[in-house]
Structure 1
Amino acid sequence: MSSRETKTDVILIGAGIMSATLGTLLKELVPEIKITVYENLPSAGEESSNEWNNAGTGHAALCELNYTNEKPDGSIDISKAIKINEQFQVSMQFWSYLVNNNLIKNPEDFITTLPHMSMVQGEDNVTFLKKRFKALSKNPLFKGMDFSDDPEKLLEWLPLIMQERSSDKPIAATKADAGTDVNFGALTRMLFDHLKTKNVDIKYKHSVDNIKRTSDGAWDLKVKNHESGSVEQHSANFVFIGAGGGSLHLLQKSGIPEGKQIGGFPVSGYFMVCNNPDVVAQHHAKVYGKAKVGAPPMSVPHLDTRYIDNEKSLLFGPFAGFSPKFLKSGSMFDLLNSIKPNNVLTMMAAGAKEMSLTKYLIQQVMLSKEQRMEELREFIPNAKTDDWDLVVAGQRVQVIKDTEAGGKGTLQFGTEVVSAADGSIAALLGASPGASSAVHVMLEVITRCFPEQLEEWEPKIKEMIPSYGVSLMENPKLLEEIHTTTAQALGLTKKELVSGL
């Protein structure tokens, strides 16, 4: 077993959408920067970023009902929806910059226009959806959204869902033609192909086993080369841990105080995939429903048209599962190994508080295929069991931490950056909206970790992202310009994208 030492400027751990985005941003800002990427698997985008392991929704809060909560007074809080929509606009601008500058090509291979719809059943839910629609449609970010509770209009919008449906329950939907389907696996691979041309050293089949601070303030990584079996020492002044579920273990090994009192809870997912092309052809939208009472936010059911390998497919889910692994390719001991003296009380508190989640997961794991089909039939009344297969989606690790609002051991459902006080190391934890907000989140990493260079870099950032530092909601003219330019660059339908503006 041999050992060798190398030094570079930046090390990115994990070849997913986050590392791909951060590497691309840094190379645009500092072309001469030296970057090395370490990925445990044989290729890029194989875990959370893979097209089969995420929803493929360009999360812009157009259809996801869990981003708009009903307040005790009956009004609808749209603040989270605004935030997520603005974050997705940042991603769209950056992708457009890359296409316009020939840094990536053929955007149709990773993004396409696809209506985003919310659909609910029952009088109370229809009332909620109508209020949500009124609240959102007043905002420039959501102009062009339509609402209907007319069965004939809904049959036009949702033929597969409305066929053979009994009329005993009120039903309503909203429709936003500005939605997108995004193949984040394809985009991740495109970005890493681009980074190779910029002399970024990408090491597949290399796992980072340990991270330690050196006396000069740099970070020393112990890296195992799975092909040769050798253990290598590599160091850098800045390290980004973008290893999906594997990030928590590495953050803990770094020893930074910001990484203490944080735990992780793994949740796996399953989707039903339609194998009948005639059924697939009858649906053309991403349709999100409402989570059942007591179910966690990640359980929101949706019937999604997806484009994978440029082929139209139809998926329904997610159904939750449980595995102690933090990655699909991880170890059965991942959860156990993440429990440390500094987070054990946080984890125990979460266990006591989240009994309903535990019960929900047990119920989900025990579902038979026919029981899953019954849930699908709430969307497609005449769905035939033989037309659908079950596939395993990705692992997600929900962050558990102590918060002021939730107290000790609070389960978080978002995407979270944890960084050292001096900005020399940062890790990404959590799940949705994840990949859709990758550009916004990586700009947050840059802001936190490179504050001294920010003033110098700002003109270039604004060239890549014209709305940088600006609220699009408060600047409708800029919003319309950005909708027009991103639609043109990414090959999206202008009429659909800016409908109503």
Structure 2
Amino acid sequence: MSSLQKKTDVILIGAGIMSATLGALLKELAPQWEIKVFEKLAKAGEESSNEWNNAGTGHAALCELNYTSEKSDGSIDISKAISINEQFQLSKQFWSYLVKSNLISNPQDFIMPLPHMSLVMGENNVTFLKKRFKALSNNPLFQGMEFSDDTEKLKEWIPLIMEGRTSNEPIAATKIDSGTDVNFGALTRMLFDHLKTKNVEINYKHSVADIKRTSDGSWKVKVNDLDSGKVEYHTAKFVFIGGGGGSLPLLQKTGIPESKHIGGFPVSGLFLVCNNPEVAALHHGKVYGKAKVGAPPMSVPHLDTRYIDNKKTLLFGPFAGFSPKFLKTGSNLDLIGSVKPNNLFTMLAAGVKEMALTKYLIQQVMLSNEKRMEELREFIPNAKSEDWDVVVAGQRVQVIKDTETGGKGTLQFGTEVITADDGSIAALLGASPGASTAVHVMLEVLEKCFPQHIKEWEMKIKDMIPSYGISLQDNPDLFEEISNTAAQALGLSEKEVAYS
């Protein structure tokens, strides 16, 4: 077994949407920097970014009810919805820049216009949705949202869901046409194809085994070439760990203080996918319901039109499950291996706090196919078992950390960037809204890790992302301008997709 030692400027670990986005940004801002990518699988975008491993929702808080909470006085807090919407606008602007600059092409291969809808049942939920609609529809970011509790109107919007519905229970929905279906797998592959043309060295079937700080402050990355068996050592001034669920174990290997007292809780997922094109043709949109009382945010049921390989299909889920693996292609020892002396009490505290989640996951694991179909029939009353197959989605590792508000062992639902004090290394942990906010998250990495360059980069960043540093809800004219530009560049305004 031989070993090689090489130097570079930037190392990106993991060939998913996050590394792809950071690489694309850096190649525009610092084209002279040398970048190397290491991915243990044979292709880009094969884990969390893969189109079958996520719901493909362009998360902009248009339909996701868990981003708008009801306060004690009965009013609706829309601050998180605004924040997530603004973050998704950054992604659309950057993608538009890449298309207009001919750095990527055929945007219809990764993004499609698709109505986003919220659907609720029961008097209290209808009242909540009505209040949410009023709160959001006054905001320029959510212009065009409609509300209806009229069954005839709902039959127009969601015919498949309304067909065969016999309950007299109140039902209501909101609908906004500016939503999107995003194929993050296709986008990831496009971005890596682009990076190849910019002389980025992309190494597939290369597994990162260790990361250690050198005496000069750089990072030495030990890499196993899975084909040849060779061990390579690469040093870089900056390392980004974007390995999805695999990021936490690698972050722990760095030994940085910021990696202490952090744990991860893996959650697996299943979707039902429609195998009958005639059924799929009857539904057009992403329809999000409300999580059942006591269920975690990750359990929000939704029925999604998806465009994968230029084919329209339907997905319903997610059904949560438990696996000790941190990646779909990971090891059953991942969870136990992530427990260290410095995070043991954090993990134990989370175990005590999250008994309800544990119980929920056990119940989900025990669900039979017929029980899953019963949950689907709450959305589609006439659903037939033979029209639906089960697809195993990606693994998500929820962050566990000690926080001031939640105390020791608080489970975090979201995306989090952990950086060393000197900005020489960064890791991305967590889950949804994840990929949708990749550009926002990677801009955060640039700001934290390259503060000395941000001023010189600012003009170029604003060229790529005009709303950088600006609140869009406070600048409705700018929002309208960038929305129109993005719609034109990404082909979101020209298509009309029929129920066919």
Query: Cα deviation per residue 1:414-468 (whole Å; 9 max; x = unaligned)?
Result: 0000000000000000000000000000000000000000000000000000000
Q: Superposed, which structure 2 residues align to 1:115-126 within 5 Å?
A: 115-126=115-126
Q: Which amino acid aligns with 2:250?
A: L
Separation in 1 of the partners of 2:167 and 2:421?
Answer: 59
Query: Cα deviation per residue 1:341-368 (whole Å; 9 max; x = unaligned)?
Result: 0000000000000000000000000000
- Name 1:28's counterpart in structure 2: 28
Q: Which amino acid aligns with 1:270?
A: L
Separation in 2 of the partners of 1:187 and 1:32?
Answer: 24
Q: Is the 8 A contact 2:17 2:45 kept in 1?
A: yes
Residue 402 of structure 1 deviates from its aligned partner by 0.3
Report whether the alignment pairs 1:172 with 2:181.
no
Q: Which amino acid aligns with 1:132?
A: R
Percent of counterpart pairs with the same letter? 78
- Name 2:398's counterpart in structure 1: 398
Q: Which amino acid aligns with 2:136?
A: L
Aligned residue for 1:87, secondary structure, equals: helix
Q: Is the 8 A contact 1:117 1:286 kept in 2?
A: yes
C-alpha distance 325-495 of structure 1, shift in aligned 2 (>3 A): closer
- Name 1:454's counterpart in structure 2: 454
Give the gaps of 5 or more residues in structure 1.
Answer: 497-501
- Name 2:106's counterpart in structure 1: 106
Q: Which amino acid aligns with 2:304?
A: D
Residue 167 of structure 1 deviates from its aligned partner by 3.8
Residue 166 of structure 1 deviates from its aligned partner by 1.0
Residue 72 of structure 1 deviates from its aligned partner by 1.1
Separation in 1 of the partners of 2:281 and 2:485?
Answer: 30
Separation in 2 of the partners of 1:11 and 1:83?
Answer: 30
Residue 73 of structure 1 deviates from its aligned partner by 1.0
- Name 2:424's counterpart in structure 1: 424
- Name 1:65's counterpart in structure 2: 65
Separation in 2 of the partners of 1:167 and 1:2?
Answer: 69
Q: Superposed, which structure 2 residues align to 1:271-420 within 5 Å?
A: 271-420=271-420
Separation in 2 of the partners of 1:55 and 1:391?
Answer: 12
Separation in 1 of the partners of 2:260 and 2:245?
Answer: 16
Aligned residue for 1:317, secondary structure, equals: strand
Aligned residue for 2:379, secondary structure, equals: coil
Separation in 2 of the partners of 1:381 and 1:417?
Answer: 42
What is the TM-score normalised by the length of structure 1?
A: 0.98
Separation in 1 of the partners of 2:74 and 2:267?
Answer: 32
Q: Alpha carbon RMSD of aligned pairs, Å?
A: 0.8
Residue 493 of structure 1 deviates from its aligned partner by 1.2
Q: Is the 8 A contact 1:484 1:494 kept in 2?
A: no
Separation in 2 of the partners of 1:103 and 1:331?
Answer: 37
Separation in 2 of the partners of 1:329 and 1:150?
Answer: 47
Separation in 2 of the partners of 1:250 and 1:256?
Answer: 11
Query: Cα deviation per residue 1:463-493 (whole Å; 9 max; x = unaligned)?
Result: 0000000000000000000011000000111
Aligned residue for 1:394, secondary structure, equals: coil
What is the TM-score normalised by the length of structure 2?
A: 0.99
Q: Is the 8 A contact 2:113 2:495 kept in 1?
A: no
Q: Which amino acid aligns with 1:173?
A: A
Separation in 1 of the partners of 2:196 and 2:494?
Answer: 33
Q: Is the 8 A contact 2:210 2:250 kept in 1?
A: yes
Separation in 1 of the partners of 2:229 and 2:94?
Answer: 39
Q: Superposed, which structure 2 residues align to 1:202-241 within 5 Å?
A: 202-241=202-241
Aligned residue for 2:3, secondary structure, equals: coil
Separation in 2 of the partners of 1:392 and 1:58?
Answer: 21
Separation in 1 of the partners of 2:27 and 2:314?
Answer: 37
Residue 168 of structure 1 deviates from its aligned partner by 1.4
Q: Is the 8 A contact 1:9 1:237 kept in 2?
A: yes
- Name 1:499's counterpart in structure 2: none
Aligned residue for 1:199, secondary structure, equals: coil
Give the gaps of 5 or more residues in structure 2.
Answer: none
Q: Which amino acid aligns with 2:410?
A: T
Separation in 2 of the partners of 1:393 and 1:422?
Answer: 36
Report whether the alignment pairs 1:82 with 2:82.
yes
C-alpha distance 163-363 of structure 1, shift in aligned 2 (>3 A): same
Query: Cα deviation per residue 1:19-67 (whole Å; 9 max; x = unaligned)?
Result: 0000000000011110000000000000000000011000000000000
Report whether the alignment pairs 1:50 with 2:50.
yes
Separation in 1 of the partners of 2:417 and 2:233?
Answer: 26
Separation in 1 of the partners of 2:192 and 2:491?
Answer: 22
Query: Cα deviation per residue 1:364-383 (whole Å; 9 max; x = unaligned)?
Result: 00000000000000000010
Separation in 2 of the partners of 1:250 and 1:60?
Answer: 30
Q: Which amino acid aligns with 2:225?
A: N
Moved over 3 A (4+): none
Q: Is the 8 A contact 1:87 1:440 kept in 2?
A: yes
Q: Is the 8 A contact 2:56 2:182 kept in 1?
A: yes
Residue 494 of structure 1 deviates from its aligned partner by 6.3
C-alpha distance 3-94 of structure 1, shift in aligned 2 (>3 A): same
Aligned residue for 1:378, secondary structure, equals: helix
